[in-house]
Amino acid sequence: MARPRKFEEDRAVEAAMRAFWDAGYEATSTQDLCTATGLGRSSIYNTFTSKHDLFERSLRHYMDERTARTADLMERELPIREKIRTVLWWAVEPDPDDPVGCLVVNALVELGPRDAEIAEVLRRDQDRRIEILRTAIEAARCRGELGADKDPLALAHFVAATISGLRVAARGGSGRAALESIATTALGVF
Q: Which residues contact 140 (CB under 8 A, 6 or more apart)?
A: 79, 80, 146
What 36-40 contacts at long range (C-beta under 8 Å, 24+ apart), as own/partner pairs, is 37/11, 37/12, 38/12, 39/8, 39/12
Question: 50-93 pLDDT, tens per residue?
Answer: 999 999 999 999 999 999 999 999 999 999 999 999 999 999 99
17 CB-contact burial (10 Å; exposed 0-12 / middle 13-18 / buried 19+): buried
pLDDT for residue 142 is more than 80? yes
Contact 163, 153 (CB under 8 A): no
Question: 145-180 pLDDT, tens per residue?
Answer: 999 999 999 999 999 999 999 999 999 999 999 999
| Number of domains the chain contains | 1
What 48-55 contacts at long range (C-beta under 8 Å, 24+ apart), as own/partner pairs, is 48/12, 51/25, 54/12, 54/13, 54/16, 55/16, 55/20, 55/25, 55/118
Q: By C-alpha distance, which of 85, 64, 59 is closest to 140?
A: 85
Question: 81-130 pLDDT, tens per residue?
Answer: 999 999 999 999 999 999 999 999 999 999 999 999 999 999 999 999 99
Question: 29-49 pLDDT, tens per residue?
Answer: 999 999 999 999 998 988 898
pLDDT for residue 28 is more than 90? yes
Q: Quote the domain boundaries for residue 157.
A: 5-187
What is the per-residue pLDDT for 65? 96
Give the CATH number, domain containing residue 62. Answer: 1.10.357.10
What is the per-residue pLDDT for 4? 53
Q: How many CA atoms lie within 13 A of 170 on its CB side?
A: 30
What is the per-residue pLDDT for 1? 47
CA end-to-end span of the chain: 55
Contact 181, 89 (CB under 8 A): no
